[in-house]
Amino acid sequence: MEAIVLAGGLGKRLRSAVPDLPKPMAPIAGRPFLEHQLDYWEREGVTRAILAVSYMAGKIQDHFGDRYDGVELDYSVENEPLGTGGGLLLALEKLRDKDETFLILNGDTFFEVKLDHLLTFHRAKQADLTLALHSVDANDRYSGIDMEEDGRVASIRKREAGQGRMLVNGGAYLARASLFTDTLGEKGPRSLEDDLMPNWLKSKKNVYGFISTGRFIDIGVPEDYAAAEGIIREVLS
């Protein structure tokens, strides 16, 4: 399976802990975070990955080259920061098989999701897009995801503090390439979660949520970055 890894973020909140590297290159147990992510997803069946890069792109390209272990690598380089949505739309041009389902991954999150389970769910629902969801204590770092009983995504809430638990996007998605037919060729910055997804919900695309209980870490802030090593060791040991 092919994957697009959204690895172009500036990582401003992590700058105090990792001042001179792009966020996906932040060291975890002496190795770049992105290596651990590729280790996991290769094990799950990814054979080719397109790295959507922007900030300090050369450091990522120089480190990884055109292959990591058994994963063939290609790069989609943003001349200006395009956000997760704009970076994804640009990277679509690099997909080898534009008729197949492919994986989208956030370059700053590690989510233990079984790809075969996610793919079975995605196919059974005939989904255009399936989000792997994680349950967290309500907070203003993430947008809450509301679902219908059958798993269809009903709405994406604005980021705001709250009480109790909520389902959030864990940064791993399966998508049909045909979902992007109307947006192919569009340029400019945009957010996947704040711009593209609401438009897909509005136009009644088949967007579903798959709840995973696997371990999850978002290295976007120093305290979670510090916890990442323990979680990744547990998953990949």
Of the two residues 142 and 207, the one the predictor is more confident about is: 207
pLDDT recorded at residue 53: 96
Residue 202 sits in a domain whose CATH number is 3.90.550.10
Please determine, for residue 196, whether its predicted confidence score (pLDDT) is greater than 90: yes
When divided into structural domains, the chain yields a total of 1
Task: Work out the angle at residue 101's Cα, subtended by the Cα atoms of residues 97 and 103, and round it to the nearest 5 degrees.
Answer: 100
Q: What residue numbers bound the domain in which 88 lies?
A: 2-236
Query: pLDDT value at position 161?
Result: 62
Residue 67 has pLDDT above 70, yes or no: yes
What tokens appear for 228 in the block? 């990442």
Is residue 127 scored above 60 in pLDDT?
yes
Q: What is the pLDDT of residue 19?
A: 58
What is the mean pLDDT of the segment spanning 116-144?
91
pLDDT tens-digit profile of 110-121? Answer: 999 999 999 999
Q: What is the pLDDT of residue 12?
A: 57
Where would I find the H helices in 19-175? Answer: 33-44, 57-64, 83-91, 115-124
Mean per-residue pLDDT over the chain, rounded: 89
Main-chain phi, psi angles of 63, to 5 degrees: -75, -45
CB 92 within 8 A of CB 104: no
**Rounded average pLDDT over 227-231:** 89
* Residue 49 pLDDT level (bands cut at 50, 70, 90): very high
For residue 224, what is the enclosing H or E element? Answer: helix 222-236
